[in-house]
Amino acid sequence: MTQKDHKPENGLLISPIQNGTVIDHIKAGEALTVLRILGITGSTEESLSIATNVKSNLTLRPKDIVKISDRELSKEEVNKIALISPNATINIIRNYRVVEKVGVEIPDILTGVVKCPNPGCITNSNEPIESKFEVVDETLHCLYCDNIISSDIVDYII
Ligand code: CTP
Ligand code: ZN
């Protein structure tokens, strides 16, 4: 048995999945935030496994893991996860194998991902205009009204 086989996420804590998405290396404690932004609640139908505060071999720091069977994520959803947890990895599982592994990345422009806090912003009017923010050094600048979001970004995720 290799050392890898001893990792709790390899079966002791939560089982491998057959098909779907594993969001791994989520910042410890943020798994439930990830579920919220994916719109997963107690009344939706996904098969889910969630592990929190798992010791990660990679960093020796705890992490959270979310496994969602039979679902793949959209680009917007991946961008939202990047805002919550920049070190997360998205693993696509098909027939028990990891067929794709990507790190999340906060793009330079976020479209339709974050709500502008300015009630007077045109993106909060009845006009069908999606929010658009430029990402500069971990702050978000609304491209319509120049409002800046510099803290609690998670609270503004749509
Ligand atoms: N996984 C799973 N079901 C599978 C295959 C993998 O739930 N059928 C999970 C693993 O438990 C792990 C993640 O998907 O949490 C990524 O799997 P893998 O790439 O095999 O693990 P590591 O090499 O440890 O990944 P990393 O290097 O990204 O930490
Ligand atoms: Zn605005």
Using the mean position of ligand 1's atoms as its centre, give its distance from the Cα of residue 111 in Å.
30
Residues 24-63: tens digit of each pLDDT: 999 999 999 999 999 898 788 889 999 999 986 766 789 9
Cα separation, 138 vs 60, in Å, equals 25
31 lines ligand 1 (CB under 6 A): no
Residues 116-152: tens digit of each pLDDT: 999 999 999 999 999 999 999 889 999 999 999 999 9
Residues 88-106: tens digit of each pLDDT: 999 999 999 999 999 999 9
Report phi then psi at 35, rounded to 5. Answer: -60, -40
Between strands 97-103 and 89-94, the pairing is: antiparallel
Give kind and range of the element (H or E) at residue 78.
helix 75-84
Ligand at minimal distance from the CA of 141 is 2
Q: Is 44 helix (H, G, I), strand (E, B) or coil?
A: coil
113 lines ligand 1 (CB under 6 A): no
* Cα dihedral 11→83→36→23 (10° resolution): -20
Using the mean position of ligand 2's atoms as its centre, give its distance from the Cα of residue 40 in Å.
27
Ligand at minimal distance from the CA of 115 is 2
Q: Please check whether residue 20 is in contact with residue 71, taking contact to mean a CB–CB distance below 8 angstroms.
A: yes
- The structure's pTM equals 0.86
